[in-house]
Amino acid sequence: MTSLVGSPPLDVFVRTSGVKKLSRFLQWQCCEDTQIHMIDPCWPEFGLLDFLPILLDYQRKVWATASKK
């Protein structure tokens, strides 16, 4: 993992517009635990209903990891 000094790694990386590729935008902050989501809505149309499934998926995975410890 490579990141700026003092900045935490990304927990969730969301790519809007339906493009299925990773650009170099914030990719350098990702680590092996970063969840990557590529969704169809473009940024201005991205709203709460698009974000909730991503948030719930992240929460489910964090809770699953915590219960294994």
pLDDT in tens, 37-67: 889 998 889 999 999 999 999 999 988 888 8
pLDDT in tens, 9-29: 788 888 888 877 776 665 667
Contacts 24+ apart (CB under 8 A), 26-33: 28/2, 28/3, 29/1, 29/2, 29/3, 29/4, 30/1, 31/1, 32/1, 33/9
